[in-house]
A = this chain, B = another copy of it.
Amino acid sequence: MESYEELLYRLKDIELVGQIGSLLSWDQEVLMPPNAAPLRAEQLAWISKTAHERLTDPKIGILLDEVGSRGNLGEVELANLRLARQSYERATKLPTEFVEEMAKHRSKSLISWTEAREKDDFSIFREDLSVSIDHARRKADFLGYEELRYDALLDLYESGLTVDTLDPLFSGLRDKVAPLIKAVSEEASRPDLSWVEDNSWSQESQEALSQIISEAIGFNFSSGRRDRSTHPFCGGPNPDDVRWTTRYNESEPFGSLFGSMHETGHGTYEQGRPRNLDFQPAGKANGLGVHESQSRLWENQVGRSRAFCDWSLSIWKEYFPENMSGVDSEQLWRAVNLVEPGLIRVDADEATYNLHIMIRYEIEKQLISGEIEVDELPDLWDSMYEEFLGIKSPNSSKGVLQDIHWSMGAIGYFPTYTLGNLYAAQLLEAAKKELPNYEDQIRSGDFQPLLNWMRKNVHSRGSVLEPAALIEEATGSPPSPDAFVDYLSSKVERLYEVTA
């Protein structure tokens, strides 16, 4: 198996470059001094160039063909071959000049988007967005697709994902969740949040809470770190060095805690990767949707459950004795589960979040297919927000300009957020069947059984399977919106006594 070993040797080399780049990026976000930005950009460009050179070495293509022509490949070998070929093809199918053109445009577009958002003027960004859409179409043509151009873009972020598989998921959500939210908005009364809103929440105590709960879930701080950054994220170079961040707002404590649980979910996934496959593509965490399932699991499915509130109440009371005086776990549970349609995706609650994504998905599909033009975008955005969330943005900064993704050319990315929510519900439903005492475990702060289930059924499987196949293997069913819809409906009914 000489070719296979040489292939692995070269993939390890490329992976090491990537690990080093991850550390540079983490440092840039978290603690690099401001004047260091230009030279850091040179270092990161060197990393990209070096990784790209090594990945597109024609020898890789030869090795892929040699390995592929043999029979007798096991599950892991097949996965390594599939993933290495995918990376190689993505890197070689796009002409160098086109990649450079996109990179240059991305820098320009990020600037016009920032200015447009500041000045609340879509027309400043209009032309650059139009070019980005054109780039996305050309990129899809270079990469190739079977049915729709947009499928080629979806596949970049979640391997094998297509409109054919996504449409039924989103229509399931639209049909069930939108009416539920409408019912809450029209019929339910808002819980009393004065104990949250009228208090100040010290950063020091928020940090303690963040740390304690992340440790309780099972994040290993001997193989990782918690830091502060403007934009929370989970990064770091490898499973022994996983670094997540959060941010603190002293006027409310939930952002940092649920943000911490979210990143802890990503972090435990990275720490749980199959270590016998270090440096191999099959050993990496799976697509963005599966990654997001792990963050959403701990943030929402666990963190916003009644049982978790029962357990965590005493910790809240320990670190915020005055603010939490007289607050019971029912009140805590209602506060962390406020359902309220809003304009901003990143601030959205668990019930409304996927409608924000659905709107973006529908718009991306139509932009790429040419059904709509960039000029029609702001009006379409507003009318969809009115239709599905019952609200309208007073300006484009809080509307169509709110997200960075399109300015970076990341078209096809948004749906993975919703996949994460659906997978999380589906995985937990499956896990509960094997964990009969699940509620009691959560209520007593024993998260090990659930984490172990994820370790066994998700984390340790790395990227051996494609994402949809992994979900089916772990849960017994292909990806579906049902578990999420059931979960959300019953929760909203308990919270607000409404039904859709």
CA A363 to CA B134, docked complex, whole Å: 72
User: Counting CB contacts under 8 A, is A9 at the interface?
Assistant: no
A23-B23, A24-B20, A27-B27 known; A238 vs B46 contact (CB < 8 Å): no
On chain B, the residues within 8 Å of A38 by CB distance are 240
User: Which of A13-27 touch B at CB < 8 Å?
Assistant: 13, 16-17, 19-20, 23-24, 27
A13-B46, A23-B24, A47-B20 known; A240 vs B39 contact (CB < 8 Å): yes
- A216-233 interface bits toward B, Cβ cutoff 8 Å, 1 = contact, 0 = none: 000011111100000000
- Contact B237 A33, beta carbon cutoff 8 Å: no
A23-B23, A33-B221 known; A46 vs B240 contact (CB < 8 Å): no
Q: How many residues of A contact B (CB 8 A)?
A: 31
- Contact A33 B225, beta carbon cutoff 8 Å: yes
CA A185 to CA B237, docked complex, whole Å: 54
Residue of B nearest to A241 (CB): B36
CA A452 to CA B250, docked complex, whole Å: 43
CA A244 to CA B223, docked complex, whole Å: 24
Residue of B nearest to A26 (CB): B27
User: Counting CB contacts under 8 A, is A35 at the interface?
Assistant: yes
Whole-angstrom distance from the CB of A277 to the nearest CB of chain B?
14
- Contact B42 A222, beta carbon cutoff 8 Å: no
On chain B, the residues within 8 Å of A17 by CB distance are 46
User: Counting CB contacts under 8 A, is A73 at the interface?
Assistant: no
Whole-angstrom distance from the CB of A498 to the nearest CB of chain B?
47
User: Counting CB contacts under 8 A, is A31 at the interface?
Assistant: yes
CA A61 to CA B23, docked complex, whole Å: 33
User: Counting CB contacts under 8 A, is A32 at the interface?
Assistant: yes
- For the A-B complex with A19-B39, A33-B241 known, give 20 more contacts whose Cβ atoms are closer than 8 Å: A20-B20, A20-B24, A20-B43, A23-B24, A23-B27, A23-B43, A31-B225, A32-B241, A33-B222, A33-B224, A33-B240, A34-B222, A35-B220, A35-B222, A35-B241, A36-B237, A36-B241, A38-B240, A39-B237, A40-B241
Q: List 11 A-B contacts (CB under 8 A).
A: A16-B46, A19-B39, A20-B24, A23-B27, A23-B43, A27-B27, A33-B225, A35-B222, A35-B223, A36-B223, A38-B240
